[in-house]
Amino acid sequence: MKIQPRIRNNMCLTAHPDGCREQVREQIAYVTSQPSIRGPKRILIVGASNGYGLAARIVSAFSCGAATAGVFLEKPGSARRTATVGWYNNLAFEQEAHDSGLVAFSVNGDSFSREIKEETIQRLRDEMGPVDCVLYSIAAPRRIDADTGEMYSSVVKPIGQRFLGKTVDIKTGALSDVVAESATEDEIQETVKVMGGEDWMDWIEALHNQNMLSRGAATLALSYVGPSITAPIYRDGTMGRAKQHLEATADSINRRFVDHDVRATISVNKALVTRASAVIPSVTLYISLLYAVMKRKGLHEGCIQQMYRLFRDYLYSANPKPLDAEGRIRLDDWEMREDVQHEVAALWQQIIDTSPRHVSEIDEFRSEFLRHHGFEMPGVDYDQEVEIT
């Protein structure tokens, strides 16, 4: 089958296996071109097939030489559909890791379920041993509660106010108005249930109870803050509530496992094009403008650069960079620089004032988004038939 990108509602419905492999190789090439890091020996990454989790797995394996266990939820291809991006990414990662003699195993299934936790822990026991680092990097639309079977959905909505904003269509660059009604109390609670810290705590507890968490292990989850222009729809909205819960969970883990010397930390990362971020209204426009400004200033980073910096300067540095007042790592430091935000805000205002038919800054976002799905990768012949399963 020849595979072309099919974008609908800012989601890409197809993925290209060869392009995904190239994209994984590009990330590996980046980390192997940098000085190696004395990092984790055995790491578990929950949410390891895409975005930040995949990048962290590549840094762990190819810069630190760690054995990596990855958990994710991805679909294989069928006769009519390509597999999901993460499926192809993972095939490529495992192939490259095994070719390099690195220990790596993956578990494809629902992170929130008891079965997947048990399967992962069993495989750790059989194939790797206790982990000294756990990275929690899930971005999920829903969760089935392992105890009750009840389903919870996460929503991106403002709280206590209606949100009127602008968003941009990735395919066409067309600007449109977006309206989001204030979330109900149930929607807030459901979003916290899915994207808050409960499942992170469940993983740490399960690993600890089964003696698969080394004494003194590090664990990390990822958060986002962002500027005032996206605050009504993000940080002050349902997602922000979930992130507050996730951040508070770091303290709960530190208190609960103090005897085991576990160190839980939050890393506030930069806004980046991933499958998760592309569907958040207004954030697409913000990221497009942010990319334009950060690239112009030579400050742009992708997932792999962010994760390399996280390991080198914070998690495994002999002399770690300072944390913020709330004890969080701030990898969004360059994004939040005053000069960067000042220029992004000016571009944003210009767009609000002039309402152009086409936002030119989306072109770079679209390219990155397509590359993220294995398209527009140099060296890949997209006219060739490929196996999609």
Residue from the set 10, 14, 23, 49 that interacts with ligand NAD by CB under 6 A: 49
Q: Are strands 151-153 and 142-144 parallel, antiparallel or unpaired?
A: antiparallel
Of 30, 234, 291, 308, catalytic:
234
**111 binds ligand NAD, rule: CB under 6 A:** yes
Segment contacting ligand NAD by CB under 6 A, of 57-65, 105-113, 341-349, 381-389: 105-113
User: Which of 183, 195, 301 is CA-nearest to residue 245?
Assistant: 195
Give CA–CA dist 276/283, Å, rounded: 11
Give the integer Cα–Cα distance in Å for 293 and 351.
Answer: 15
Residues in CB range of 298: below 8 A, 6 or more apart: none
Binding ligand NAD (rule: CB under 6 A), the pick from 17, 51, 165, 197 is: 51
HSE-up of residue 202 (Cα within 13 Å, Cβ side)? 18
Among 10, 14, 82, 274, binds ligand NAD (CB under 6 A): 274
Instruction: Confirm if 58 and 28 have CB atoms less than 8 A apart.
Output: yes
Task: Identify the residue among 1, 102, 103, 140 touching ligand NAD (CB under 6 A).
Answer: 140
Active site residue 136: no
Which window, 67-75, 209-217, 310-318, 350-358, contacts ligand NAD (CB under 6 A)?
67-75
Distance between CA 351 and CA 55 in Å, rounded? 33
Name the residue number minimizing CB distance to ligand NAD: 51
Nearer to ligand NAD, 23 or 269 (CB): 269
Q: Is 154 in the site for ligand NAD (CB under 6 A)?
A: no
Q: How far is the CB of 338 from ligand NAD (least distance, A)?
A: 20
Whether 290 contacts 226, CB under 8 Å: no
Instruction: State which of positions 217-246 bind ligand NAD (CB under 6 A).
Output: 222-224
Residue 332 CA: distances (Å) to CA of 1, 86, 273, 378:
40, 25, 14, 29
Chain positions 168 to 187 lying near ligand NAD, rule: CB under 6 A, are none
β-pair type (11-12, 7-8): antiparallel
Please identify, among the stretches 31-39, 44-52, 256-264, 349-357, the one whose residues bind ligand NAD according to the rule CB under 6 A: 44-52
Judged by CB under 6 A, the number of residues near ligand NAD is 29
Q: Give the footprint of ligand NAD on this chain (CB under 6 A).
A: 47-53, 71-74, 86, 110-112, 137-140, 222-224, 269, 271-272, 274-277
